[in-house]
Amino acid sequence: MAGLLERLLSIVKRLPAGVFAFVMATGIVSSAMNLIDQEFISDLLLILAVTGLVVLSIALFVKLLRFPRLVIKDFADPDSTFGFFTLVAALNVVGVRTYSISPMLTLILGTISLPIWLILNYGITASLFLGKHDHPVSSKFDGSWFLWVVGTQSLATASAAVAQESHLNVLASIAVAFWGIGVILYITLASLIVLHLFRMKSEPSRIGPSYWIFMGATAITVLAGSRILVLPKGVPILEESESFISGLTLTLWAFGLWWVPMLLIFGVWRHGIKRWSTSFEGGFWSIVFPLGMFAVASMHFGLEIHLPIVVLLGEVFAIVSVMVWLLVVLLIRNVFNVPRRPRRRQIFHGST
């Protein structure tokens, strides 16, 4: 029993900041499957996402209690700190997916995520601006920084989902506010990170799966905008901003689609030309989430603007996302599929 506890604590100790990426990816693929009427797959993935959310939340709480210095170290490190936003996004991805089952659960998970977002939003910003770093913070730019946008827009999406049925104007206003904050963060980070891509030396270790989050941040911004556009009429802030939200959402959807071939080129260059290993790495969930999110965003937005081709594209991405999810799971299985040593033949000596 003591040995098992030590092994569990060892696993908890090594938990990365972005561990909730699994929940994000699984939850959004569940939503995509639900939208194309694959209820069995959707429900199965939802069970996995909820289970992962509960287990990983407990594990993170234990790590905070037993290894607070490691958590603080991750929080202060620009390479890992934005991974904590996966918790905010995971809570709201699961919350929005379960809205049809329990609207109250959506509201509760969104409410829990809000103070976490506030702590991360201002704590990380203060740490980056005011903390002591061995190298300039700008040298640490990568796609994981877009998790800041993803976490913010997940709050906008959850707020809009609850406001749609409850007709609470305050939630509609909160949704628009978070969407606006997310858009500004997106534009700021996109400018900085694209400039960094042009200036940095191209190495396979630096052009990793995290850049798919760039497209994921685009997609969740589209989803949040789509959710806002279907809110009940009569909300003052929507009457003033509807045309702006609609136009920018369409622009971002097109930009998100534009990113897909570019990201595939990155992958071919990294694994095909530079021969970087294709063995499992946690960042692979960063590929699944954007694909699933783009699928869900496209189906919602296509219905809103009455473009069947956009809906169809979303359905195609939904199928692709679940296939990539399965591929990542198989890669994880290969990590643990360690060849067993052949058993030694037991020779018994004695009279017969």
Q: What is the pLDDT of residues 44-84, one digit of tens each?
A: 999 999 999 999 999 999 999 999 999 999 988 888 899 99
In a domain, 342, yes or no: no
Number of domains, the chain: 1
C-alpha 223/C-alpha 219 separation (Å) is 6
User: What is the per-residue pLDDT for 352?
Assistant: 35
Residue 271, domain extent: 2-126+138-229+237-333
Q: Where are the alpha helices (DSSP H) in the chain?
A: 2-13, 21-35, 39-66, 68-76, 85-97, 103-130, 147-166, 169-199, 212-229, 236-267, 285-305, 308-336
Identify the CATH number of the domain in which residue 7 sits.
Answer: 1.50.10.150
Instruction: Give residues with Cβ within 8 angstroms of 33, minimum separation 6.
Output: 39, 41, 42, 45, 318, 322
In a domain, 286, yes or no: yes
In a domain, 271, yes or no: yes
C-alpha 209/C-alpha 246 separation (Å) is 30
In a domain, 351, yes or no: no
pLDDT over 70 at 347, yes or no = no
pLDDT digits (tens, 9 = 90+) for 181-235: 999 999 999 998 888 877 777 777 677 788 889 899 999 999 999 999 988 877 7
User: What is the per-residue pLDDT for 205?
Assistant: 66
In a domain, 133, yes or no: no
Which one, of 253, 192, 263, lies nearest residue 224 by Cα?
Answer: 253
pTM above 0.85, yes or no: yes
Mean pLDDT is lowest, of 68-82, 260-274, 286-300, 326-340, for: 326-340
In a domain, 341, yes or no: no
pLDDT digits (tens, 9 = 90+) for 102-137: 999 999 999 999 999 999 999 998 988 887 777 777
Confidence grade of residue 334 (pLDDT, cut at 50, 70, 90): low
Confidence grade of residue 4 (pLDDT, cut at 50, 70, 90): confident
In a domain, 345, yes or no: no
Q: What is the DSSP string of 8-21?
A: HHHHHHT--TTTTH
User: What is the per-residue pLDDT for 345?
Assistant: 42
Instruction: Give residues with Cβ within 8 angstroms of 302, minimum separation 6.
Output: 308, 309, 310, 311, 312, 313, 314
